[in-house]
Structure 1
Amino acid sequence: MTDNAQIYIWMTVAAKRVEARTGVDILDLLSVSYGRVVEKETKRLGCFNPDLYPAAQLNHIIDWLVSAKQRNEEWLSRVDDEGRPKKLMKMGSIPQMVAEANKAMKKRRNDGAALVASEGAELVHDCGNGYGVFKLTTEEALDHEGFEMGHCVGQGAYDRGVADGRIAIFSIRDRFGKSHVTVEIDLERKTVLQIKGKQNELPKAQYMRQLVGWLDPSFKIDEEDLPPGFAVDHNNRLFDLSALKPGEVFEGDLLFRSLDDEPDEYRVPIADGVVIRGYVSVVGADLLRRMKLGKGDEYGVLQRVVLPRGLKVEGGLELKYLRLHADELEIDGSLNMSICEVTKLPKRVAAYNCTFRRTIFDGVSGTAFGSTVTFHDCNNAVLEGMVFEKAVTVRDCSTGGAVLRSAVTFGDGTLFRGDLTVKDSEIGFAGTITCEDMVRLRSCREVRMPDTMTVDGSFYALDCKIDRWPPQFEVTGECAIADSNVASERVNTVPARKFG
């Protein structure tokens, strides 16, 4: 299936769901606006990735288009030769569409200004501390909520769905009747579709806490709408992570994302000593924005991730766009790092497996890995005195010829207790290297040999460019060299070079 076909199906599904809720067909408008821009970006990126497009933005644009069609706004009649609204065709990016939706929402915001907050609002849950959850049952109540909150829930887009009982809209209000959070629930699909604060922003934590204990666990929650510090466990219960105490267990997957480009470090908002029985993903701030802001320290522009002391992850840890400088790391699962930098590791990393993709290692030494380790697409990894207790794989690692060094270098004192496999990479060794099992080098554009290398298993090199043989080179098992070039043969006559 082509990318454009996938995008069209995506737009069709979204439009059909909206039509079921509102009775308004916006597939044509959605396709020539949002869908058209996604197609253009997909062509530029080379592939379609729906994860790049936040559902909150799409929903906001959909609400704007529904409201425009319900009101039969004048701009809809100004079309080009193919019948497409010129207003939409002028928009070349999703932020432009979001800005236009915001402008339209602001223009209509006063629709509910004269209405009374209590009309059409039914109290369904007492949160305590003066807060309550109110179900909005009339068009007037929706209009007032839209006026109070500065979003488009009251501009007609939700009226029919509420009247037909397909969706329910709730408002979190204080003792004075002031709205702070709006919640949309799809009753047919049992899904919490949106949780919004003022102006469609994420709710503030103090108001979000009022929902903990009220939302029915049988309803699926879209975690994209959860503010930092809140999560859903494996039983679909909403949690305030700041309430977790040392030693307590959270059973579920967690995603933490740095939303502030300014600071040079990002602290994961969990108490020390918490146990996570799930997969934890931590994503740093946008690199390009930090570069434009001139942010960074002596290590570079990546934010340093600060993990809670004593944090135990029993599912796996994924880091992206971050610098890791850690004294302790307890992972009963996998460690995956992508587009990261490592400046310090604990004496031992015990994980099920470790994968480092496009990750820089700067001055890291003396760590023992108790798992398999993979280096993929790295271009500047220097590790010294490391102990790899299981198999190590290096693949597709290259500097691109820009610098006179190897993409991955294992320095003096490195010990490989399992197989070492290197493929399609620029690999370097320095000082004394000990390999207690097999070494396989294949299609390596550059192999820089150390002064001393001991291989207790077999040594294979196929289609490799080797700078020289080590002056001290001992291989206990088979040594097979095929289709490989050795730049310097001067050390080959050294008697200490032994082959089993």
Structure 2
Amino acid sequence: MTSRYDHPEYCESVFHLICALDIPDRVLMPIRNLVGCSLGRIFWLDWLRQDSRDAEWMPTPGDHEDPEWHRIDGWPERGDGAKSRKWNRRAALWMQWNSIDAWHVCDWLITATAEGHPWLANVDAAGHPKKLMKCGSLERLVFEATKGLRQRNLRDIILGPEDENFVLDLGAGHTLVQLLSRASLRKEGLHMHHCIGHGGYDELLDDPDVGFYSVRTLDGKPIATIEIRDSYIRQYRGPANAEPSDAVKELVAVAIDAFGWRDWRDRPRPACDEDYGEEALAVLRNLPPARRRPG
């Protein structure tokens, strides 16, 4: 009997999810199989449940009063490539709604692989770690990731001017500091209880299009961490990966205005166009990302 993991459409779905995760290849390759049997499996099951309700349109999750409806069938009337278009679209939507949780899980997998956590060796008959396979939802994966990333040894790290740099006065005694070294990322992660200091972001420090920033109080305490790629805000989290407070968002708005940062979901996605013919592209480039369900 063919397993789910050999099913062509399952493989297609996981491929597009991995593309949407936007993780550098060097970081991704050691965890690719783990991503497939954790996030990929949850992604597939989420869409199977949706398809049992409606395989063509779906509303924005959690918006119960007047939701936006999204086309999710891949526009089969446009000919070849409908399956690829379908999973490309679904991966983009799923990441739009779940990106913070998905990246949090990936950071856990990166850390566990780099440090050789024992649970990786406790596998089922198919070779998949049982810890991952017991997680039947994204929420459960996030719970395990948070538990697995909890710092064990908080220690003071002395930083110098080559490690972090003052960037902007945000007002009310708060400042924006750029994190420039592995030591600064580690210290930020220790104080904020999230994964930036576990090594998964180290190689990006040398990328001129990527920046890591910390919002600090008057006494230098970090209260939010921001990742910028190509002037887009990819991640923006408070302590323990929580949503930043409204007060912190107001402070960071000063930096957003000053530097012209934009929302990650609004970035151009030219790579997605590769699966469409020119005739389809002429329509899709002007198509709103969400439409009301036809009456």
Whether the TM-score (by the shorter chain) exceeds 0.5 is yes
Aligned counterpart, 1:105: 149
1:220 counterpart residue number:
262
> Is the CA contact 1:109–1:146 (under 8 Å) kept in the aligned structure 2?
no
The verdict on how the C-alpha distance between 1:219 and 1:68 changes in structure 2, with shifts beyond 3 A counting, is same
* 1:80, distance to aligned residue in structure 2 (A): 2.5
Tell me by how many angstroms 1:207 deviates.
Answer: 1.6
Give TM-score scaled by structure 1 length: 0.41
Identity of aligned residues (%): 27
How many residues are matched? Answer: 225
Question: Which residue type is aligned with residue 221 of structure 1?
Answer: D
Letter in 2 for 1:177: G
> Aligned pair 1:130/2:173, yes or no?
yes
**AA at the equivalent of 2:134:** K
Residue 12 (structure 1) aligned with residue 18 (structure 2): yes
Cα distance, 1:179 vs structure 2: 0.5
Q: Deviations over 1:217-248 (max 9, x none)?
A: 5543236xxxxxxxx9xxxxxxxxxxxxxxxx
In the alignment, what sits opposite 1:197?
A: 238
RMSD value over aligned CA atoms? 2.9
Between the aligned partners of 1:134 and 1:19, the Cα distance in structure 2 is 25
Q: Assess if the C-alpha contact under 8 Å between 2:209 and 2:231 holds in 1.
A: no
Higher helix share: 2
Q: Once the 2 structures are TM-superposed, how far is the Cα of residue 96 of structure 1 from its aligned partner?
A: 0.9
Match of 1:40 among 33, 42, 45: 45
Shift of the alpha carbon at 1:117?
A: 6.4
Give the partner amino acid of 2:129.
P
**Aligned position for 1:75:** 119
CA distance in 2 between counterparts of 1:91 and 1:78 reads: 15
- Could you report, residue by residue, the CA deviation over 1:338-367 in whole angstroms, capped at 9, with x for unpaired residues? xxxxxxxxxxxxxxxxxxx7xxxxxxxxxx
Distance in 2 (alpha carbons) for counterparts of 1:196 and 1:117: 22
For the residue of structure 2 that corresponds to 1:98, the secondary structure is helix
Aligned ranges 1:84-95 → 2 under 5 Å = 84-95=128-139
Whole-Å separation in 1 of the counterparts to 2:100 and 2:211: 18
Counterparts in 2 of 1:183 and 1:134: CA distance versus 1, 3 Å: same
Q: 1:33 to 1:184 in 2, by over 3 A?
A: same
Query: Is the partner of 2:156 in helix, strand or coil?
Result: coil
* Structure 1 residues 140 and 23: CA distance shift in structure 2, 3 A: farther
Q: Which has the higher contact order (CA 8 A, sep 6+)?
A: 2
How far apart in 1 are the matches of 2:41 and 2:149?
23
Q: Distance in 1 between matches of 2:205 and 2:124?
A: 35
Alignment of 1:447-458 (within 5 A): none
Give per-residue Cα distances to partners, 1:172-215, cap 9 Å, x unaligned.
101200011100012xx442201111111111122222222323
Post-superposition shift, 1:6? 4.5
Unaligned ranges ≥5, structure 2: 1-7, 56-71, 73-89, 267-287
The 8 Å contact of residues 159 and 183 in structure 2, kept in 1 or not, is answered as: no
Larger relative strand fraction: 1
Counterpart of 2:272?
none
Letter in 2 for 1:220: R
Query: CA offsets, 1:235-286, max 9 Å, x none?
Result: xxxxxxxxxxxxxxxxxxxxxxxxxxxxxxxxxxxxxxxxxxxx9x9xxxxx
